Amino acid sequence: MKSFEANIKKVVPYTPGEQPQNKVIKLNTNENPYPPSKEVEKVLHNFDVDVLRLYPDPTIKELVDTIADYHGVDPEQVFAGVGSDEVLALSFLTFFHGKKPILFPKVTYSFYKVWADLYDIPYKCTELDENFVIEKEDFYEDNGGIIIPNPNAPTSLYMELSEIEDILKHNQDVVVIIDEAYIDYAKESALKLLDRYENLLVIRTFSKSRSMAGMRIGYGIGSKVLIKHLNNTKHSFNSYTLNAVSIQCGKASIEDDAYFKEMIARVIETREQVKIELKSLGFTVLDSSTNFLFVKHKEANAKKLFEALKAKDIYVRHWMDEPVSDYLRISIGTNEEMEKLIKFMKEYLN
């Protein structure tokens, strides 16, 4: 180690899914197989480039107002950032500043641990039951804050809102974050609990249901007091996060609600069809409320299957960690892509 490295913070970063540059059937990072709204394209192709010489609005007002209007909340309850990852990263820094461990499920989005380590936040992971179900009682112990994704990833399982509310009832002195990256493919959102719990922050992304992973837009909705603190952190980090193009494109996406709902319905339809087919091939398929399936075959080894798929340019996700090493996470692609996947599975399993 060089002498000047003594004062350098050393961290182990998060490893995102691969972004192969060649043409593959890409079912490994839960992206949307359909393009964004045509309204987004119009914004891009008619963008007044002269605007770029000026800083974007640091309050991101146009997008924040549009989001607030869409969800029927006050603009002061909305915070926007560079993907839900930035919203989460700044939320960890802001809301989990206590000495007690924060709580999150053992099997979940693996970035939570990375953020906790980045900011030296103590944490404790709650066990899941044998079916990967999050047990609400595990969140009743003393803690410094809570984060739960609903639906959870990579399990794809949805937790009933009544259970989320039970957790909130038991945790009114800490901030509770519900990470709703996949909620558009599931049942009810925790947004409807906002009126009753000022310590609740709900986080959303444009990367899945809005087909805009490449644009990096996420947002959080909570009480005005939470959003005020989060904005103070943001303005202590980077005054201007979302660029002028993202702000306009995000607004256009939200305004085209018919297309948004149609694309969600299409992904869900494919998901339900693929679920049936995989089950008929001997897979256990968890009851997904997301745009992906979490599956295990009764005989085939997950790692070998993952590699065989990759050799045929079909990318899915596999982790070596227990207790998920027997599983594959498969994003829902187009019907054509999923037919190719099923065709391969049939051949492989024979």
Token pair 């079916």 is found at 131
Among 24, 29, 75, 342, binds its own copies (CB under 8 A): 29
Q: How far is the CB of 5 from its own copies (least distance, A)?
A: 7
192 is an interface residue for its own copies by CB under 8 A: no
Show contacts with its own copies in window 35-94 (CB under 8 A). 35-36, 40-41, 44-47, 49-58, 82-83, 85-86, 89, 93-94
241 is an interface residue for its own copies by CB under 8 A: yes
3-class DSSP string for 202-214 = EEEECCCCCCCHH
Binding mask 143-182 for its own copies (x = CB under 8 A): -xx--------------------------xxxx-------
Burial code (b: 16+ CB inside 10 Å, e: under 16) for 39-77 equals ebeebeeeeeeeeeeeebeeebeebbebbbeebebebeb
Q: How far is the CB of 102 from its own copies (least distance, A)?
A: 9
33 is an interface residue for its own copies by CB under 8 A: yes
DSSP category for residue 46: T
Q: How far is the CB of 173 from its own copies (least distance, A)?
A: 4
Show contacts with its own copies in window 216-235 (CB under 8 A). 216, 225, 229, 231-235
CB half-sphere exposure, 51, CA atoms < 13 A: 14
265 is an interface residue for its own copies by CB under 8 A: no
In 34-169, alpha helices (H) = 38-45, 61-71, 83-95, 111-118, 161-169
Of residues 9 and 298, the one with the C-beta less far from its own copies: 9
Neighbours of 279 (CB within 10 A): 12
95 is an interface residue for its own copies by CB under 8 A: yes
Token pair 């986080």 is found at 203
Q: How many residues bind its own copies (CB under 8 A)?
A: 91
Binding mask 283-302 for its own copies (x = CB under 8 A): --------------------
The structure tokens listed for 248 are: 């306009």
239 is an interface residue for its own copies by CB under 8 A: yes
5 is an interface residue for its own copies by CB under 8 A: yes
DSSP category for residue 316: -
Per DSSP (E only), the strands in the chain are: 25-26, 78-81, 102-105, 123-126, 146-149, 176-179, 200-205, 218-222, 283-285, 292-297, 314-315, 328-331
16 is an interface residue for its own copies by CB under 8 A: yes
DSSP category for residue 321: S
Among 24, 68, 118, 342, binds its own copies (CB under 8 A): 118
**Span interacting with its own copies, options 214-222, 278-286, 298-306, 317-325, rule CB under 8 A:** 214-222
